[in-house]
Amino acid sequence: MSTRANHPLQKDFNGHAVRELATRMKQMDGPLLPILHAVNEQFGYVDERALPVIADVLNLTRAEVQGVVSFYHDFRRTPAGRHVVKICRAEACQAMGAERLIGDMETALGVKLGETRADGQITFEPVYCLGNCALSPAALIDGQLHGRLNAAAALALAGK
């Protein structure tokens, strides 16, 4: 995966904004998950440097915050590419050619599954069921669900 230090979509870390957001939300019941979701939404990912700030505001250890971030796969640890392609890897999609689709997409996009291309244009991720089994193989491309995909259709949808 591309590192934060050289990722073209990397934004400068704003600890003050993270602290302000966490402070504003800390009175909620169970504030950690809503705060992490808000950070992920506002910045596009949860920067490693945000963890001690959130921990401090909530009087938690950094390890407690880290444990929650690492447990939930929806929290990005690095910025996503301009286009995000999520290919379903559940059984129905596998039976209908998801593995071939993944291979074809890796070749065409120039990025392996689970990575972001060096130019920051494409993030290619696995997902384990989109609930679109009748139309497999399925993918979520830039937040839109698509089914009965082949590589040509998926590439067109991803803007390649």
Q: Assess whether pLDDT exceeds 50 at residue 3.
A: no
Q: Assess whether pLDDT exceeds 50 at residue 8.
A: no
Out of 8-22, 25-39, 107-121, 126-140, pick the least confident. Answer: 8-22
> Omega into 31 within 30° of 0, i.e. cis?
no
How distant, in Å, are the alpha carbons of 19, 24, 114 from that of 139?
35, 36, 14
* Tens digit of each residue's pLDDT (9 = 90 or more) over 88-132: 999 999 999 999 999 999 999 899 999 999 999 999 999 999 999
Tell the residue number behind the tokens 């992920």, with chain if given. 40
Which residue ranges make up each domain of the chain? 4-71, 83-157
**pLDDT value of position 7:** 43
CA distance 115 to 118: 9
Report the CATH fold assignment for 83-157: Glutaredoxin (3.40.30)
Q: Are 61 and 55 in contact (CB under 8 A)?
A: yes
